[in-house]
């Protein structure tokens, strides 16, 4: 168990297939770039809405309980694609990025 610190920006949960294909530093750099780009685009669209994500949990009144940041989705997809492209692992590749700094 690792204690979370205030300066932590995100958490990358990845299966062996991810870590076999890239280093922790590479995964962190890719994720940090996605999170930084999302914060600086100024579009105001910082999460994936219900109309675009059928897996978003809500309280049946349309209010999001666990909004998913677009940057997290982008980072997750990019990490998976990079790992698949490297083709160095025969293991499955599963990734989830949790954006701690979303709010």
Whether residue 14 contacts residue 91, with contact meaning beta carbons closer than 8 Å, is answered with: no
Report d(CA 87, CA 33) in Å as an integer: 23
Report d(CA 74, CA 44) in Å as an integer: 16
Per the listing, tokens 């949990």 go with: 57
Residue 6: the pLDDT is: 86
Residue 87: the pLDDT is: 79
Residue 40: the pLDDT is: 55
**Phi/psi of residue 85, nearest 5 degrees:** -65, -30
Per the listing, tokens 């920006």 go with: 9
Comparison of pLDDT for 77 and 38, the residue scoring more: 77
| Tokens at 21, concatenated | 């294909």
Write the DSSP symbol of residue 76. Answer: H
Summarised one tens digit per residue, pLDDT across range 14-54 is 999 999 999 999 999 999 999 987 765 445 455 544 444 54
Residue 50: the pLDDT is: 43
Q: In the chain, where are the structural domains located?
A: 8-39+63-103
pLDDT at residue 100 tops 70: yes
Average pLDDT, the chain: 79
**Phi/psi of residue 37, nearest 5 degrees:** -60, -40
Comparison of pLDDT for 87 and 16, the residue scoring more: 16
**Phi/psi of residue 78, nearest 5 degrees:** -65, -40
Write the DSSP symbol of residue 4. Answer: -
């Amino acid at each position: 168990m690792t204690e979370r610190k205030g300066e932590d920006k995100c958490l990358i949960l990845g299966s062996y297939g991810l870590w076999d294909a890239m280093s922790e530093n590479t995964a962190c750099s890719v994720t940090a770039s996605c999170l930084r780009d999302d914060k600086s685009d100024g579009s105001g669209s910082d999460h994936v809405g219900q109309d675009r994500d059928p897996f978003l949990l809500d309280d049946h009144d349309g209010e999001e309980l666990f909004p998913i940041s677009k940057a997290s989705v982008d980072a997750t997809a990019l990490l998976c694609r990079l790992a698949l492209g490297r083709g160095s692992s025969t293991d499955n590749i599963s990734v989830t990025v949790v954006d701690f700094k979303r709010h």
